[in-house]
Chains A and B, each alone.
Chain A
Amino acid sequence: MTVVPISYYLVLSAVLFGLGVVAFVFKRNIITIFMAIELMLNAVNLAFVAFARAYNQLDALVFVFFVIVVAAAEAAVGLAIVITIVQNRQSLNVERVNLLKL
């Protein structure tokens, strides 16, 4: 084996995405849940870059660029929301944020 097959990258991307889902579901800290979302976005980006290489398409790389830009905007707004929640609830635990829960 001299060159790594593209499918290896895709499997790694799937594994990272799965770990991101697991972190998203099991973590209780609202900031860590945000980081799990970033991990999933990173896994998708890896799949994009791998496909860009496999099919020799530059469009996928442009998409990765846009994903990174949207992730930056999302992180800014999301962390502002986190700060507001902590000011109102005095807790980072998502189980304390239960106004809409039946």
Chain B
Amino acid sequence: MTLSVFLFFAFAAVAVLGALLLIVAREPIHSALSLILVMISLAVLYLLLGAEFIAAVQIIVYAGAIMVLFVFVIMLLNAGEEERTDWSKLAKYAGVPLGLILVLALAYWMARSTIAGSAGAAAPASAAVSTRELSEQLFRTYLLPFEATSILILIAILGALVLAKREE
């Protein structure tokens, strides 16, 4: 068992554990911290897959900016323990098995699709995607969508300001 295999299983376990903690935790702040755990372990998996730039963006934008926003709002609203509500019978007896079936079906089809596509199994170990190639792709082929996202962010800022502004 090489180092990359060990790292994969270790951080895959951490990611699944974090996702389970998100569901089990009753305090929103605990959910937020376990989601940060998931995001950081996913960044390690991106590094294993050779996507260095995406791993850095994952840490900076997701685990950094977005989750800080979440934690800030949780503290601003002083969000306490979640109120317990009874699960309806439908949720208990239909929801849980259907959720399990969804996970299994997704896993089965996704695993099958790569094997059938023959590109699957062992990807070349050396092929780390260079950030230079990625940025060329981003600023040449996808220049227009890239510029459109900047307008999207601007509109999002304006929308957030208008929504959160206290009405006089």
Q: Which of A5, A29, A65, A79 contacts B28 (CB 8 A)?
A: A29
Please report the C-alpha to C-alpha distance between residue A59 and residue B22 in the assembled complex, in whole angstroms. Answer: 31
**By CB atoms of chain A within 10 A, which of B22, B57, B61 has the most?**
B22
Chain B residue nearest in CB terms to A93: B83
Contacts of A11 in B (CB 8 A): 107, 110-111
User: From DSSP, what is the main secondary structure of chain A's interface residues?
Assistant: helix
Interchain nearest-CB distance for B128 vs A (Å) = 10
Chain A interface residue count, CB cutoff 8 Å, equals 75
* Residues on A with beta carbons closer than 8 Å to the beta carbon of B32: 31, 35
Verify B163–A81 contact, CB threshold 8 A. Answer: yes
- B76 contacts which chain A residues (CB < 8 A)? 83
Q: Is the CB of B110 within 8 A of A77?
A: no
CB distance B145 to A83 under 8 Å?
Answer: no
Interface mask (A3-30 → B, CB under 8 Å = 1, otherwise 0): 1111111111111111111110111110
Given contacts A21-B99, A28-B85, contact A58 B107 (CB under 8 A): no
Q: CB-nearest residue of chain B relative to A16?
A: B19
Docked Cα-Cα span, A28 to B81, in Å, equals 11
Cβ–Cβ < 8 Å partners of B51 in chain A = 49, 52-53, 61, 64
- Of A6, A25, A93, the contact of B114 (CB 8 Å cutoff): A6
Residues of B within 8 A of A42 (CB): 38-39, 42, 62
Q: How far is the CA of A55 from the CA of B20 in the complex (A)?
A: 31
Whether A76 sits at the interface, judged by CB under 8 Å, is: yes
Interface centre among B23, B69, B82, B100 (most CB of A within 10 A): B23
Q: Is the CB of B66 within 8 A of A83?
A: no
Q: Which of A25, A50, A53 contacts B99 (CB 8 A)?
A: A25
Contact of A35 among B5, B31, B119 (CB under 8 A): B31
A82 at the interface (CB under 8 A from B): yes
Q: Looking at the complex, which one of A36, A79, A86 makes contact with B22 (CB distance below 8 Å)? A: A36
Interface centre among B46, B48, B57 (most CB of A within 10 A): B46
A interface residues (Cβ-Cβ under 8 A, vs B): 1-23, 25-29, 31-32, 34-36, 38-39, 42, 45-47, 49-56, 58-59, 61-62, 64-66, 68-77, 79-84, 86-87, 92-93, 95
Task: Give 13 A-B contacts (CB < 8 Å), ordered by A residue.
Answer: A1-B1, A5-B122, A8-B8, A10-B107, A14-B103, A23-B19, A27-B82, A31-B70, A47-B110, A49-B51, A66-B149, A75-B66, A92-B77
